């Protein structure tokens, strides 16, 4: 559905409105239409499907999760036969895949592109939501599904005098569709997280000079870019459901089995051999979770990994001062980073590393940036400065639930949800991978959560009911999650995982740390106990079919 249709939006009456046309939103739309036969439409600000993969098209952008699990499984034919070309699909390939899924299942005709939902109000008397678009159209829907992205609310700080800069400022998560030619440019990259290291390794040697503006170094291991593994292709082809079930039954759903061996339970020699094999194979999550079981739990175990990576930095980076600047001083307990040849980049003459914690970015000038009192002349500044993760996009929608309660007030001290799926007092509002979802890779987990609440909606439909959540069940869930997080080094290491990356954001736990396998057990138990913690109360208004 194109933007010309937006005039027809005002007064639209739906069973289900799905906000977001990324991985989760597309599947939610499919499920509502095809499994429940409901009148569902999607809404997305972008002019195509893709979600995060629509916006993030910066140089070097690719998944750093194995493509084998970066996929849907609901369409078994596509699951078996989609020919991912690489172990880690590039942005264009993920976008093409999502577009192909949407085309095959005729989803695009039900999506209102170029449409931002700005406001959501629960109308108690009508038993439904009223959504308001950014341009003022009003839509009513009995259910709202928000699949708005865990890492989609872009964060880009502004620096003094930015408007004076004669060059270009580009934000990685809003990269222009027309890829700019940077080949003869002096380029600065601000940020060295997952995005920054992809941009840096992609641009090094391809621009006139690359300036890396690093505030906090992070532990980086190789990614291991290469062709899609043939053995996994055959395994998926032979038994797609078996592969999907195996992947979901791991803790992190990244396509490998997590280790159960504590790091200090083996000899130094064995430990080094395990780390070296993981380094050679590549993959950040596998290095962190597949080598040993306790790297993110005990400081002593964590140090064995950081000592190993430090030895690699020292061996690869020729200038000792640069090596020192690249070596983190905190735990290896952020979202793990992986990029091939990352540290080698800093041996190049056309790459300069600036420690902007010591020598701060003071302001822009017409010709560049003042860093630590000195001007660095630049043509382009790339902000790879991250996201207001987990809660950012939910809170951008001005949401009012029962009794006039605002979501932003309910979440003023950090988010509260039941199982990452729903919020008490906000009836018939379901979330895909909302805060306090399991700390995992996403696509297969999105599918699992959508299937879960599709069954719940079906149950509510049978009795013309409204779904809400018991506050006590929600707070119990939040408590379990806080306890789980407190048992890890993620809790004490600054990153977007705990909200520390956004100035003024409450620092809090936002994840279920028990792993997907335990999450499924717990959620199935909740379902088997009659959806314990969810409340299905009879709606005051007849369902649409009854009204006809
Ligand atoms: O964001 P980040 P990201 N001055 O928050 C720096 C997913 N993702 O976009 O650490 C100077 O990790 C900040 O410095 P510091 C993935 O889950 C996936 O890179 O706060 N620097 C940090 O270096 C990932 O984890 C993929 O001191 C400033 C950087 O910006 C998540 O998105 C690819 C600054 C932000 O790092 C987020 O990654 C890309 C300032 N004022 C992203 N403000 C793949 O699947 C911030 N920084 C491959």
Residue 524 sits in a domain whose CATH number is 3.50.50.60
423 — phi, psi (to 5°)? -125, 130
96: in domain: no
User: What separation in Å is there between the alpha carbon of 481 and the centre of ligand 1?
Assistant: 24
Co-location of 213 and 113 in the same domain? no
Instruction: Confirm if 469 and 413 have CB atoms less than 8 A apart.
Output: no
Q: Is the shortest distance between the CB of 498 and ligand 1 below 6 Å?
A: no
Q: Which atom of ligand 1 is nearest to the CA of 196?
A: 19
DSSP state of 344: G
Co-location of 347 and 218 in the same domain? yes
Q: Is the shortest distance between the CB of 75 and ligand 1 below 6 Å?
A: no
542: in domain: yes
Residue among 23, 63, 191, 505 to mutate when testing ligand 1 (max atoms within 8 A of CB):
191
Domain boundary among 383, 403, 422: 383
Measuring from atom 20 of ligand 1, which residue has the nearest CA?
501
Measuring from atom 32 of ligand 1, which residue has the nearest CA?
151
Q: Is the shortest distance between the CB of 64 and ligand 1 below 6 Å?
A: yes
Co-location of 409 and 281 in the same domain? no
Co-location of 342 and 365 in the same domain? yes
183: in domain: no
Q: How far apart are CA 93 and CA 499, in angstroms?
A: 30
The number of folded domains in the chain is 2
Co-location of 315 and 409 in the same domain? no
The DSSP result for 120-168, as a single string, is EEEETTTTEEEEEETT--EEEEEEEEE---TT-SB-----TTGGG-SSE
Domain boundary among 353, 383, 413: 383
54: in domain: no
Amino acid 51: pLDDT: 97
**What CA dihedral angle connects 178, 443, 154 and 422, to 10 degrees?**
140
Q: Which atom of ligand 1 is nearest to the CA of 337?
A: 25
Co-location of 308 and 430 in the same domain? no
Co-location of 331 and 223 in the same domain? yes
Co-location of 250 and 337 in the same domain? yes
177: in domain: no
User: What separation in Å is there between the alpha carbon of 191 and the centre of ligand 1?
Assistant: 6
Pairing state of beta strands 374-377 and 368-371? antiparallel
Helix (H, G, I), strand (E, B) or coil at 212: strand
Co-location of 506 and 455 in the same domain? yes
89: in domain: no
Q: Is the shortest distance between the CB of 335 and ligand 1 below 6 Å?
A: yes
Instruction: Using CB atoms within 10 Å of the CB of residue 261, give its burial: 0 to 12 exposed, 13 to 18 middle, 19+ buried.
Output: middle
Which structure tokens are listed for 86? Answer: 């690489």
Domain boundary among 383, 412, 438: 383
Number of alpha carbons in the 13 Å side-chain half-sphere of residue 430: 28
Longest dimension (CA), the chain: 76
Helix (H, G, I), strand (E, B) or coil at 176: coil
Measuring from atom 26 of ligand 1, which residue has the nearest CA?
194
Amino acid 377: pLDDT: 98
User: What separation in Å is there between the alpha carbon of 386 and the centre of ligand 1?
Assistant: 4
Amino acid 343: pLDDT: 98
Question: How many whole angstroms from its chain centre is CA 191?
Answer: 17
Residue among 51, 58, 193, 332 to mutate when testing ligand 1 (max atoms within 8 A of CB):
193
Amino acid 448: pLDDT: 98
Co-location of 438 and 398 in the same domain? yes
Co-location of 420 and 280 in the same domain? no
**Domain that residue 242 falls in:** 190-383
Measuring from atom 34 of ligand 1, which residue has the nearest CA?
385
Q: How far apart are CA 388 and CA 505, in angstroms?
A: 9
Q: Is the shortest distance between the CB of 190 and ligand 1 below 6 Å?
A: yes
283: in domain: yes
Q: How far apart are CA 258 and CA 297, in angstroms?
A: 14
161: in domain: no
Q: Is the shortest distance between the CB of 356 and ligand 1 below 6 Å?
A: yes
Residue pLDDT tens, the chain, 548 long: 544 455 589 999 999 999 999 999 999 999 999 999 999 999 999 999 999 999 999 999 999 999 999 999 999 999 999 999 999 999 999 999 999 999 999 999 999 999 999 999 999 999 999 999 999 999 999 999 999 999 999 999 999 999 999 999 999 999 999 999 999 999 999 999 999 999 999 999 999 999 999 999 999 999 999 999 999 999 999 999 999 999 999 999 999 999 999 999 999 999 999 999 999 999 999 999 999 999 999 999 999 999 999 999 999 999 999 999 999 999 999 999 999 999 999 999 999 999 999 999 999 999 999 999 999 999 999 999 999 999 999 999 999 999 999 999 999 999 999 999 999 999 999 999 999 999 999 999 999 999 999 999 999 999 999 999 999 999 999 999 999 999 899 999 999 999 999 999 999 999 999 999 999 999 999 999 999 999 999 775 655 555 54
Q: How far apart are CA 448 and CA 250, in angstroms?
A: 14
Co-location of 233 and 115 in the same domain? no
Q: Is the shortest distance between the CB of 216 and ligand 1 below 6 Å?
A: yes
Q: Which atom of ligand 1 is nearest to the CA of 194?
A: 19
């Amino acid at each position: 559905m194109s933007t010309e249709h937006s005039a027809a939006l005002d007064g639209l009456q739906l069973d289900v409105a799905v906000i977001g046309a990324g991985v989760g939103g597309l599947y939610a739309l499919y499920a509502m239409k095809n499994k429940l036969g409901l009148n569902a439409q999607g809404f997305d600000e972008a002019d195509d499907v893709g979600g995060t993969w629509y916006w993030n098209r910066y140089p070097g952008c690719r998944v750093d999760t194995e493509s084998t699990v970066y996929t849907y499984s609901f369409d078994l034919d596509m699951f078996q036969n989609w020919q991912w070309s690489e172990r880690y699909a590039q942005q264009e390939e993920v976008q093409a895949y999502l577009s192909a899924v949407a085309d095959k299942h005729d989803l695009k005709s039900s999506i209102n592109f170029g449409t931002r939902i700005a406001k959501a109000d629960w109308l108690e008397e009508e038993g439904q939501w009223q959504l308001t678009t950014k341009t003022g159209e009003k839509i009513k829907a009995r259910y709202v599904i928000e699949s708005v992205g865990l890492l989609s609310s872009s964060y880009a700080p502004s620096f003094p005098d930015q408007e004076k800069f004669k060059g270009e400022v580009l934000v990685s998560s809003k990269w222009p569709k027309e890829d700019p030619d940077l080949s003869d440019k002096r380029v600065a990259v601000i940020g060295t997280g997952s995005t920054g290291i992809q941009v840096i390794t992609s641009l090094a040697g391809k621009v006139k000079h690359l300036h890396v503006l690093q505030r906090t170094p992070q532990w980086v291991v190789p990614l291991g870019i290469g062709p899609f593994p043939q053995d996994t292709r055959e395994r998926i082809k032979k038994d797609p459901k078996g592969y999907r079930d195996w992947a979901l039954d791991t803790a992190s759903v990244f396509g490998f089995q997590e280790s159960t061996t504590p790091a200090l339970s083996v000899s130094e020699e064995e430990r080094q051999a395990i780390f070296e094999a993981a380094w050679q194979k590549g993959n950040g999550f596998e290095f962190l979770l597949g080598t040993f079981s306790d790297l993110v739990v005990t400081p002593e175990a964590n140090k064995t990994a950081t000592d190993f990576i430090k030895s690699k930095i020292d061996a690869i980076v020729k200038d000792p001062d640069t090596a020192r600047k690249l070596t983190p001083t905190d735990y290896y307990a952020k979202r793990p980073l992986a990029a091939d040849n990352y540290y080698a980049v800093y041996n190049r003459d056309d790459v300069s590393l600036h420690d902007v914690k010591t020598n701060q970015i003071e302001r822009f000038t017409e010709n560049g940036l003042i860093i630590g009192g000195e001007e660095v002349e630049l043509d382009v500044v790339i902000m790879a400065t991250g996201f207001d993760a987990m809660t950012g996009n939910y809170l951008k929608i001005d949401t009012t639930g029962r009794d006039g309660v605002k979501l932003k007030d309910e979440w003023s001290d950090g988010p509260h949800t039941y199982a990452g799926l729903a919020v008490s007092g906000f009836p018939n509002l379901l979330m895909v991978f909302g805060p306090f979802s399991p700390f995992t890779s996403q696509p297969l987990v999105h599918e699992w959560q959508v299937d879960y609440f599709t069954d719940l909606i079906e149950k509510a439909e049978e009795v013309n009911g409204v779904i809400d959540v018991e506050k006590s069940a929600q707070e119990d869930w939040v408590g379990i999650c806080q306890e789980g997080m407190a048992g890890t080094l993620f809790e004490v290491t600054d990153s977007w995982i705990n909200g520390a990356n956004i100035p003024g954001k409450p620092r809090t736990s936002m994840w279920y740390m028990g792993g997907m396998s335990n999450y499924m057990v717990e959620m199935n138990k909740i379902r088997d106990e009659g959806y314990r913690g969810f409340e299905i109360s009879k709606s005051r208004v007849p369902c649409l079919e009854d009204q006809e």
